[in-house]
Amino acid sequence: MIKAIRIHSPGGPEVMKWEDVPRPEPGQGEALIKQEAAGLNYIDVYFRSGLYKAPNMPLIIGQEGAGTVVAVGQGVTAVKPGDRVAYAGSLGGYATERVIAADRLVKLPDAIDFKIAAAMMLQGMTAQYLVRRTYPVKSGDTIVVHAAAGGVGLILCQWAKHLGATVIGVVSTEQKAELARAHGAAHTVVGHGNLPAEVKRITGGAMVPVVFDSVGKDTWNASLDCLAPFGLMVSYGNASGPVPPVDIGILSAKGSLYVTRPNLNTYTAKRADLEKVAGELFEVVGKGVVKIEVNQTFPLKDAAAAHIALESRKTTGSTVLLP
């Protein structure tokens, strides 16, 4: 048997149960890994609460982890028992051991330990595709990053600064503002009530070419009002709830704007893309350009406490669950 956090129906943090589960066997193209650390991500809250529909019940939530390959199924040649590996974007992460499609695994460089790997694969690969592909950030850009002291946020601030951008980070407290500034945000705005006016002041009226918005419902309007004509609204999360249906005429009224609602799985669906995205992440972390801040760790069995902390905005940076 293995241990896992499972939900039997969607709901609050209390629906997560620490249970004995039969040890899975790797099938064709799969690998069994012993997890040394699992990542906590906001998407885990969406699957737990029912905002995102569970593919099956009971469900082992969690989409990120790092550990050692224990066994492989038929046809697997890319990884072998003993390899240090990590992954993101595959349900089943809140477990001591798990089976996963072997082509979703990446081998870990020696310099990256399991805890850092579990903290960074999902949030870091997300930051990669956002600043390198969704909107390739370039020197001289001024950009807006919401939840700038969060998991994705702290990585985005550091990476965008490295690419030459001036980051305006949006946060909810002065302490979080300080943290975002320490990680590359040139400016911080506390709360979004006055955000467009602050962006106008900071940019001398020019506004910004892109907003990275992971907050969703609460910030949608303010974010659109920060954009320069032809600007790109990147709505990539729903921490405050999903954005309600939109009349696309608003994009015309506010200056021929663009909008995208991207997700990591599309950007890493092809094996070559996964390798490129992970490779760039390993490079910036390896060089120290991006520091992964694991500011909270919880025993995996206490995943409910970790969810409560995340949802009540008490966490900063990344959070890791230890089996």
Q: Is 273 helix (H, G, I), strand (E, B) or coil?
A: helix
For ligand NDP, which is the closer residue by CB, 69 or 220?
220
Among 35, 142, 214, 296, binds ligand NDP (CB under 6 A): 214
Helix (H) or strand (E) holding 299: strand 294-299
The site map against ligand NDP for 7-26 (x = CB under 6 A) is: --------------------
Helix (H) or strand (E) holding 10: none
- Residue whose tokens read 């001024």: 142
For ligand NDP, which is the closer residue by CB, 69 or 88?
88
User: Is residue 149 a contact residue for ligand NDP (CB under 6 A)?
Assistant: yes
Nearest approach, Cβ of 320 to ligand NDP (angstroms)? 12
Q: Which amino acid is at 32?
A: L
Residues 6 or more apart in contact with residue 99 via CB below 8 angstroms: 24, 25, 26, 27, 30, 31, 32, 33, 92
The site map against ligand NDP for 94-123 (x = CB under 6 A) is: ----------------------------xx
Window contacting ligand NDP (CB under 6 A); options: 14-22, 37-45, 77-85, 293-301: 37-45
CA distances from 212 to 14, 64, 144, 256 (A): 31, 22, 6, 18
- 245, HSE (Cβ side, Cα atoms, 13 Å): 1
Among 71, 132, 262, 291, binds ligand NDP (CB under 6 A): 262
User: Is residue 194 a contact residue for ligand NDP (CB under 6 A)?
Assistant: no
**Calpha distance 83→75 (Å, rounded):** 16
User: Is residue 297 a contact residue for ligand NDP (CB under 6 A)?
Assistant: no
Q: Which residues lie near ligand NDP (CB under 6 A)? A: 41-43, 122-123, 126, 147, 149-153, 171-172, 176, 214-215, 218, 236-240, 262-264, 310-311, 313, 315
